[in-house]
């Protein structure tokens, strides 16, 4: 029996909706189940996304998770605005599928976020907090061009930022190492795990365009009403500029530190933390002081017993050291630094499509897994035009395996944990056997000029090859 818990958020009014008003439908499918079907006790929260990532997401669900309606080419700009249709429920699952689980679905496609006043993102984040596992597709963070393209009512904030602020966790990004995919930084022999603080800073900042002749001050008001005014800048009458105020809180920084130390201990790696405290003496200095206190008071003994070290370094020095290292460490970064450096590491290890991204809360009980890349707009335009694509789906598939692996840990479900390991093993074996998408073929063969049509698979063909490999592994091959 598979139950699909369907949140019909598309039917919500433009002003948003309350969780109590959400339509929740449980649909039972009584299909034939082979003996190998794995029962998953707890549920997971699925967050759907945009463009080519959404197309691949449906392929993955159909071939590995549950039998759902095939992806369609989603329409481009809509003028005038048309109401979104409810998403049809999935078909009865293919008896070959492996899992028997409950999925609570939220559509975080940009048009549905617009239709719900972005309430769907908040509801999805709180659902993850309640359930303990979120599995997210890549989504659009709209800029001016996207607002015009989709006729959006507002330039909505990053859904990732919203979710991270609700969960108050640390985002750990780690490369997916494939033996035959060369690294652009050849000295990196071991993975580097980026711990990105997923709260505050630029992603929760207030920004403002300032007219010429205006002045900007930072005002701190105490609980007793006393004000402390700090001048920021007096803009000349002949021209304005921009200003921004951002913040963080001790509790979140402390949770970030603990989560990074726990990850270092779990992976058996030393921990480095980077800031620019020589310039931002109060702001970044707070991160340095809290990390040092957490290390001294809570983790020094455990780290020393495990033969591991902790060290703070300036961000520019840390980048230089990372490039010339062999890898094999956890790197704790502030929010923006982690955003940038994780992409640098992904490319250095081979491809932006070969990077996992898992948000972990301080207590380790809640995880949101996603791909570290975007929605692959260029390939989606080709897909809309009916042309074949060869889009790397590895990171999106790993979002499912890493999320379900956490579900397995919460439930003590060894069968599910084994299935997740088998899927990741199937990816490695498939690529190792020379079956891959075009981006990986270019890396393996040393350039696009060395790659012919027979050297790579199309988007769906690659997932079919992984599925075939997985069937062989599960059959004992």
Domain residue ranges in the chain: 2-182+363-474, 183-204+247-349, 206-245
Instruction: Report strand pairing: 271-275 vs 310-314.
Output: parallel
Contact 294, 155 (CB under 8 A): no
φ, ψ for residue 23, nearest 5 deg: -90, 120
- What was the pLDDT predicted at 19? 33
Q: For residues 330-346, give the mean pLDDT.
A: 90
Cis peptide before 80 (omega within 30 of 0): yes
Q: How much of the chain exceeds pLDDT 70, in percent?
A: 86
| Total residues found in the chain within this entry | 477
CA 442 – CA 450 distance, rounded (Å): 7
Of the CA atoms within 13 Å of residue 152, those in its CB half-sphere come to: 25
Summarize pLDDT for 18-31 with one digit per residue, the tens.
333 232 322 232 23
Spatial separation of the C-alpha atoms in residues 447 and 79, rounded to whole Å = 42
Instruction: Determine the pLDDT at residue 368.
Output: 96
Q: Tell which CATH architecture fits domain 2-182+363-474.
A: 3-Layer(aba) Sandwich (3.40)
Is residue 68 classed as helix, strand or coil in its secondary structure?
Answer: coil
The CATH H-level (homologous superfamily) assignment of domain 183-204+247-349 is: Isopropylmalate Dehydrogenase (3.40.718.10)
Is pLDDT above 90 for 90?
no
pLDDT at 477: 62
Q: How does DSSP assign 408-427, residue by residue? A: HHHHT-HHHHHHHHHHHHHH
pLDDT range class, residue 58, cuts 50, 70, 90: very high
Same fold? 2-182+363-474, 183-204+247-349: yes
Give the per-residue pLDDT at 31.
34
CA distances from 379 to 246, 328, 459 (A): 36, 34, 10
Token representation of residue 385: 């035009």
- pLDDT band for position 412 (cuts 50, 70, 90): very high
Confidence check: pLDDT of 69 > 80: no
Residue 112's SS3 state is helix
The model's pLDDT over 174-205, given as tens digits with 9 standing for 90+, comes to: 999 888 888 888 899 999 999 999 788 887 88
Separation of alpha carbons 398 and 174, rounded Å: 11
Name the band, by pLDDT with cuts 50, 70 and 90, for residue 48.
very high
Q: Give the integer Cα–Cα distance in Å for 101 and 278.
A: 51
Give the Cα separation of 310 and 270 in Å (integer).
6
From the number of C-beta atoms within 10 Å of its C-beta (0-12, 13-18, 19+), residue 387 rates as exposed
Distance CA 425, CA 417 (A): 12
Structure tokens at 404: 């379900």
pLDDT score recorded for residue 283: 95
Beta bridge pairs of residue 38: 99
> Residue 16 — very low, low, confident or very high, per pLDDT cuts 50/70/90?
very low
Average pLDDT over residues 343-361: 86
* Percent of the chain at pLDDT exceeding 90: 65
Is residue 235 a contact partner of residue 212, using CB atoms and an 8 Å limit? yes
How large is the average pLDDT for residues 404-428? 95
User: Where does 268-413 have alpha helices with state H?
Assistant: 283-294, 300-305, 315-324, 335-348, 377-384, 394-411
pLDDT tier, 463 (very low <50, low <70, confident <90, very high otherwise) = very high
> What was the pLDDT predicted at 345?
87
User: How high is the mean pLDDT of the chain?
Assistant: 85
Alpha-carbon dihedral sign for residues 182, 184, 186, 190: negative
Regarding predicted confidence, which is higher, 15 or 298?
298
Res. 97 pLDDT band, cuts 50 70 90: low
Helix (H) or strand (E) holding 351: none
- Is 383 within 8 Å of 222 (Cβ atoms)? no
- pLDDT (average), residues 292-311: 97
What is the secondary structure of 133-153 as a DSSP string?
Answer: EEEE-------HHHHHHHT-S
Whether the model clears a pTM of 0.75, i.e. scores above it, the answer is yes
pLDDT of residue 36: 57
Confidence tier at 10 by pLDDT (50, 70, 90) = very low
C-alpha distances (whole Å) from 420 to each of 263, 403, 409, 434 are: 20, 9, 11, 22
């Amino acid at each position: 029996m598979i139950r699909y818990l369907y949140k019909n958020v598309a039917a919500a009014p433009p002003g948003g909706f309350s969780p109590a008003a959400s339509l929740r439908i449980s649909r039972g499918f009584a299909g034939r189940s082979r003996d190998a079907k794995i029962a998953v006790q707890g549920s997971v929260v699925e967050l759907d996304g945009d463009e080519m990532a959404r197309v691949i997401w449906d392929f993955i669900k159909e071939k590995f998770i549950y039998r759902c309606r095939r992806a369609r080419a989603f329409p481009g700009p809509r003028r005038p605005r048309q109401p979104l249709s409810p998403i049809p429920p999935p078909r009865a699952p293919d008896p070959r599928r492996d899992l028997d689980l409950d999925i609570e679905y939220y559509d975080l496609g940009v048009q549905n976020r617009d239709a719900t006043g972005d309430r769907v993102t908040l509801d999805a984040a709180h659902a993850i907090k309640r359930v303990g596992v979120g599995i997210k597709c890549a989504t659009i963070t709209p800029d001016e061009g996207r607002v015009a393209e989709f006729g959006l009512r507002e330039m909505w904030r990053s859904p990732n930022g919203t979710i991270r602020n609700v969960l108050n966790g640390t985002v750990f990004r780690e490369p997916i190492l494939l033996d035959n995919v060369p690294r652009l930084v050849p000295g990196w022999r071991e993975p580097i795990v980026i711990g990105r603080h997923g709260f505050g800073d630029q992603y929760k900042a207030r920004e403002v365009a300032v007219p010429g002749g205006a002045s900007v001050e930072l005002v701190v008001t105490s609980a007793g009403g006393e004000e402390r005014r700090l001048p920021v800048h007096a803009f000349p009458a002949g021209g304005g500029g921009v200003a921004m105020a951002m913040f963080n809180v001790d509790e979140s920084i402390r949770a970030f530190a603990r989560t990074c130390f726990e990850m270092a201990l779990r992976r058996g790696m030393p921990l480095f933390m980077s800031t620019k405290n020589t310039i931002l003496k109060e702001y970044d200095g707070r991160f340095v002081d809290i990390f040092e206190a957490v290390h001294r008071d809570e983790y020094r003994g455990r780290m020393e017993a495990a033969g591991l070290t902790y060290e703070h370094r300036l961000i520019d020095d840390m980048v230089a050291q990372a490039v010339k290292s062999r890898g094999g460490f956890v790197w704790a970064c502030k929010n923006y630094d982690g955003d940038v450096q994780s992409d640098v590491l992904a490319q250095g290890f081979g491809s932006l499509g070969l990077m996992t991204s898992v948000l972990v809360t301080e207590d380790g009980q809640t995880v949101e897994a996603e791909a570290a890349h975007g929605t692959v707009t260029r390939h989606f335009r080709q897909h809309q035009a009916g042309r074949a694509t060869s889009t790397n789906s590895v990171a999106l598939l790993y979002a499912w395996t890493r999320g379900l692996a956490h579900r397995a840990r919460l439930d003590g479900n060894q069968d599910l944990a084994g299935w997740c390991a088998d899927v990741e093993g199937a990816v490695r074996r498939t690529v190792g056997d020379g079956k891959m998408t075009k981006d990986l073929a270019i890396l393996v063969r040393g350039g696009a000029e060395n790659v012919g049509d027979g050297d790579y698979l199309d988007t769906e063909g690659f997932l079919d090859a992984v599925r075939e490999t997985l069937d062989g592994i599960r059959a004992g091959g």
